[in-house]
Structures are given as C-alpha cells and as structure tokens.
Amino acid sequence: MQIKTWFVLSIACSFFSSAANAYEYENSYNTEGYDYAPSEFAEPINDPVFAEEDTFVERREPVRYQEYRSPHVVRGHANYASRLPKKIAASGEKVIVINPRSHVWGAYTESGTLIRGGLATSGARWCSDIGRPCRTKSGTFRIYSLGSSDCVSHIYPVGEGGAPMPYCMFFNGGQGIHGSSHLADANLSHGCVRVSVNDAEWIRFQFATRGTKVIIQSY
C-alpha cells in the first residue's frame, strides 16, 4: 500500500513540475507587439515595383534603400552631387551625366563644370512584372523630345499605363529622364532615369534643349 501511495505521489509531483516548467517557458517570451518580417525579402519602400529581384538572392544582408532627401546642400540633408566630379573635360557643349553605380545625375557646362546634381534612380537589373532586365542602356545619347508636367507612361503600370512622368526628356527610344516621387538610392525603374520633380523641371527649362548630350555611365 505504501509503495502504491509513493508511486502516485511521485507521478503527481512530476506532472506539476512539468506544468510549472511549461508555464515558465511559455511566459518567458513577450510576444506583444512582435511583428517579424525579414527585411531582406521586403519590397523597397520607395517603389511598388519589386525590381532588383536577383539582388535579394545574391545578398544575405538586409537591403535597405536610402529614402530620398534634398540633393541641395542643406544642413541635415544628403548632397548627392558630392558623389560626382566637380570638373570633367571640357567638351564645348552642355552634358548631363548619369551614374547608375552612384545613383546620381549631374549637369555640366560647356567648360566641364558641375552646376547641379542630385539623386537618380536608373533601370533595374530585373523587373518581375515584365520578366526581363530593365537596365538603362549605357552610352552617349542626345535628347530628342522635351515634355511638359503632364507627361505620362503609355505602358506602365503594365496593362494600364498612366504612370506620371513629369517633364519627360527622351534620349534613347522609350528611355528618358523624368521627374518622380518614387526615388531611392538604388536602381529600380523600368529603364528611365528618375530624378526629383524639382530637378526634372530645372533640367527641362533651365538646362536641356533638343540635342543636349546625355552620358549614361556603366553599371
């Protein structure tokens, strides 16, 4: 009888001990406000188009794109023009330089002096919505079309069109420079070069003309 009593008490103690441990384990984690979403698989916050697909496969660290800030020299703001050389070889004509590696654009005078620059979002390595690369073609081109603030895309969004492209300036087929509110310190577009709307307006009315040289540097 004593053996049976000891056996029952032993099982009961074991049960309560396990329950206590389980309760302690369960309550050792505070799950309130816990919102896990791996940033390396998150879409870029500056653009609804999930463009650089292969970047997320190749890179293990989280991809965080810098949000657009003023390209001008203002306290507390990034000066993207500082990524460009202040002087290039004089060509005798105005030149717009796009650097997809540094994600910047620059306007140079006939004497090769940089007078303005800013953030530029060029074409992506891959556009998942159309299933192909979207890189802006490297080379030297000339602006052949100057648009107004009412410019819109006839292709994007796919199947709809109508995406705003204020002050569009085409230089290579359907590829051009235009204003956009979807900017990032990265290459995310479908092939055009996006700059801030203010920058696009300045280029359109204060700098570019038909025939202005555009240099797209290599990626």
Q: Which two tokens stand for residue 81?
A: 């023009």
From the CA atom positions of the chain, what is the Rg in Å?
Answer: 28
pLDDT reported for residue 78? 66
Q: What is the bridge-based pairing of β-strands 104-108 and 175-179? A: unpaired
DSSP code of 17?
H
Classify residue 208 by burial, with Cβ atoms within 10 Å: 0-12, 13-18, 19+.
buried
Instruction: Output the pTM of the full model.
Output: 0.65
Residue 63: predicted pLDDT: 33
Residue of 83, 38, 84, 82 lying closest to 64 (CA atoms)? 38
Q: What was the pLDDT predicted at 151?
A: 96
Peptide bond before residue 157 is cis, with ω within 30 degrees of 0? yes
Nearest Cα residue to 184 out of 56, 81, 65: 65
Quote the pLDDT of residue 160. Answer: 85
Between the two ends of the chain, the Cα-to-Cα distance in Å is 85
The confidence score (pLDDT) of residue 195 equals: 97
Say what the pLDDT of residue 42 is: 26
Task: Identify the segments of the chain with pLDDT beneath 50.
Answer: 2-5, 7-9, 11, 13-77
